[in-house]
Amino acid sequence: MPSRPTRRSRPFGLLALPAILTLTTLSAPAAATPGVDRAAGPRAPRPNIVYVLADDFGWTSTSSPLTNQGNGSDFYETPALERIAREGVAFDNAYTSVNCTPTRAALLTGLYAPRAENNIYLVGDLNRGGDDTLLKGPAQGRPDGATALPPEAVTFGERLQGAGYTTGYLGKFHVTRTAEAITAQHGFDENIGGQASGDPGAYHAKDGQFGPKIGPALDAFAGDYTRAYVDENIRPWSAGTDPAALDALVGTDKHVSDALADATIDFVDRNKQDPFLAFLSPYAVHTPVGDAQGRKDLLATYKAKTPGTSTSNPAYGALVEGLDQSVARVVRHLETTPDPRNPGHPLADNTVVVFTADNGGVENFTDNGPLRGQKGELREGGIRVPLIAWSGNPALVKGGRIDHTPVYAADHHATIASLAGAAPAARPVDGVSLKGLFAGDGAGLGRQAIFWHLPGYLIAGDRDQRPQSVIRSGRWKLVHSYEDRSWELYDLATDIGETRDLAGERPDQVQRLGRDLIRWLDEVDAPLATLREGREPLRFTVRGTTYADGRATVRTGETVVVRPGEEVPLVLRTPAGR
């Protein structure tokens, strides 16, 4: 097994910070805030919110051990994320959907996938398994087949606009049919770089423009690297990097991660007179991943490193640390920029920064272990991600903590709306606010379970996701597979890798959680996959409960027949002797 690599030397043991900054805070210089008691906190109401949603950034892609129960990468380096995880609150049971679009739809709307104003379960369609599968997934997305939010969906951007916030979207959107809809329909005053695409195509600009998959407004930040830019925005975060490699960046094409950091800082500066929401959605670390995609100085550094004990891909590492540097720059700017709404304090004292990801990691590039599975699957490796909340104000985020509460992407809608003091939602949302968990007020969420429903297929390469429904309640995770009507039960407190199926040993838990899962499917009117045309009818006898066609049915021993084109039900059999 390769030896653990030696980390690059960094001033203060963490970040290569400007001389005016300290180890534990990236605070504004003392001269900028004379006579201010920082512990007093801000006087301004309604905090600013910077929400960072990394792409395909798995649970163990960060070098911090705090968000992943001690399983941080020993090859990929994320010093900025380490720092805000240590100073903020790190969540190690944070969940998403299986890939990009369903997670983004859930967090923007606050709704589970089966809700009418969401209806997005998977990137593409629900039949990514060919024409030979047993079942066929239903239509998803809009009536025209686009996996895009409908105009009637209410995003947290819209709710914050109603609360007087200026809202900016910067980067990948992926749940829209047109770039114009982001501002016209989905609650953002500005859209810089977002449109329907799910990947950047290429990470570097060419001749001062990014490629057609990146929204053209970001081209304003696509100019080649200059000496001043490198010295101000890259060199401070590059301790241990060969200075010649940094010098060689001058005159070369801008990387999209740097451009998005530039655009975010520019948005903050233009809108700091009023409360703002900056939604920074990096294209990193989605494919393409290769030597041409990472910034050249970072690529050279990772190619020179000793491999770690887990997956160690230099091209991926360059994208990971480039993303981390973007976070570092934005946080530093918040801490060194005076807040016009809160005189004597920097913006950080009235801003909440949230960092998370849209799905689990891709096993070609990152090791999700000890979790099982990867992006595209309902195993833990596909749906568990880092989540960090940080602020310069302990009243907003009580730092130095790890929170073990299971939380889900839809909760981010309710959280952001609650932080902003937005009016109550016109229609109830499924997510619950994490504001209290951020502040460490001791109150729980009042929720018993989180649910997932995927009525279709994603079979590609080494991914093998089939129609399933899942419930996570406390330490237990129950999985129902529709093809064979089977159940799996895992105790995540002792078996985070989902290696031991306890369904046969704990029928009481299967019954309890199975009933809860059926009640939820019934409540959200979840559609199911149907038996594919040309297949023989399915016949089975049920004493217990089934769910199909939008209703739960208690059965006392009758034979169920499912013909082609009909929904294949969830089946919860009553154990013998009961």
Q: What is the pLDDT along the chain (578 residues), one digit of tens a residue?
A: 333 344 454 432 333 333 222 223 333 323 333 333 434 455 557 999 999 999 999 999 999 999 999 999 999 999 999 999 999 999 999 999 999 999 999 999 999 999 999 999 999 999 999 999 999 999 999 998 899 999 999 999 999 999 999 999 999 999 999 999 999 999 999 999 999 999 999 999 999 999 999 999 999 999 999 999 999 999 999 988 999 999 999 999 999 999 999 999 999 999 999 999 999 999 999 999 999 999 999 999 999 999 999 999 999 999 999 999 999 999 999 999 999 999 999 999 999 999 999 999 999 999 999 999 999 999 999 999 999 999 999 999 999 999 999 999 999 999 999 999 999 999 999 999 999 999 999 888 999 999 999 999 999 999 999 999 999 999 999 999 999 999 999 999 999 999 999 999 999 999 999 999 999 999 999 999 999 999 999 999 999 999 999 999 999 999 999 999 999 999 999 998 67
Catalytic residues: 100, 174
SS3 301: helix
* Residue 442 shares a structural domain with residue 495: no
Is-contact 469 448, C-beta < 8 A?
Answer: no
What CATH number has the domain bearing residue 542? 3.30.1120.10
Of 160, 62, 132, give the one whose Cα is nearest residue 169. 160
pLDDT score at 243: 95
Domain assignment of residue 511, yes or no:
yes
Report which of 280, 257, 263 is spatially closest to residue 49, judged by C-alpha positions.
280
Q: Answer whether residue 30 is part of any domain.
A: no
Residue-level pLDDT at 547? 98
**Residue 152 carries which DSSP code?**
T
Q: Is 388 exposed, middle or buried (0-12, 13-18, 19+ CB in 10 A)?
A: buried
Environment class of 273 (CB within 10 Å of its CB; exposed 0-12, middle 13-18, buried 19+): exposed
- 42 in Cβ contact with 349 (< 8 Å): yes
Residue 145: per-residue pLDDT: 85
Q: Is 4 within the bounds of a domain?
A: no
Answer yes or no: is 335 within a domain. Answer: yes
Residues 543 and 442 grouped into a single domain = no
For residues 476 and 427, membership in a common domain is answered with no
Residues 6+ apart with CB under 8 A from 575: 507, 511
Buried b (16+ CB within 10 A) or exposed e, 536-552: eebeeebebbbbbeeeb
Question: Do both 392 and 502 map to the same domain?
Answer: no
Distance of alpha carbon 199 from alpha carbon 288, whole angstroms: 8
The strand pairing partners of 554, in sequence order, are: 545
CA–CA distance from 499 to each of 95, 410, 429, 491, 494 (Å)?
19, 28, 34, 10, 10
SS3 per-residue string spanning 9-71:
CCHHHCCCCCCCCCCCCCCCCHHHCCCCCHHHCCCCCCCEEEEEEECCCCCCCCCCCCCCCCC
pTM confidence score = 0.93
Q: Based on the domain organization, do 304 and 376 belong to the same domain? A: yes
Whether 230 is in a domain gets the answer no
Residue 427 lies in a domain: yes
Sign of CA dihedral 345, 275, 266, 282: positive
279 and 331 inside one domain: yes
**Of 456, 434, 458, 449, residue with least CA distance to 99:** 458
What are the phi and psi torsion angles at 168 (to 5°)? -130, 135
CATH of the domain at 180: 3.40.720.10
Distances (CA, A) of 559 to 278, 294, 454, 545, 551: 55, 58, 26, 12, 17
pLDDT for residue 578: 73
Tokens found for residue 457: 């297929």
Q: Are the CB atoms for 82 and 382 separated by under 8 Å? A: no
- Length of the chain, in residues: 578
DSSP state of 443: -
Determine, yes or no, domain membership for 239.
no
Q: Which of 416, 448, 480 is the last residue of a domain?
A: 448
Domain match, 562 and 511 both: yes
One domain for residues 427 and 477: no
- Domain encompassing residue 186: 46-129+136-220+254-448
**DSSP state, 313?**
-
Are both 107 and 199 inside the same structural domain? yes
* DSSP letter string, 494-505: T-TT-----TTT
Phi-psi sector, 349: left (phi>0), alpha (psi -120 to 50), beta:
alpha
Q: Which residue, 389, 413, 448, sits at the end of a domain? A: 448
- Look at residue 332 and tell me if it is in a domain: yes
Q: Are residues 322 and 176 in the same domain?
A: yes
Which residues, listed in sequence order, are joined to residue 531 by a DSSP beta bridge?
A: 135
Q: Do residues 428 and 482 share a domain?
A: no
Domain boundary among 405, 420, 448: 448
What pLDDT sits at residue 442?
83
Together in a domain, 438 and 472: no
Alpha helices in 421-462 (DSSP H): 435-439
pLDDT of residue 43: 54
How many structural domains does the chain have?
Answer: 2
Query: Cα Rg for the chain, rounded, in angstroms?
Result: 24
Distance CA 407, CA 79 (A): 24
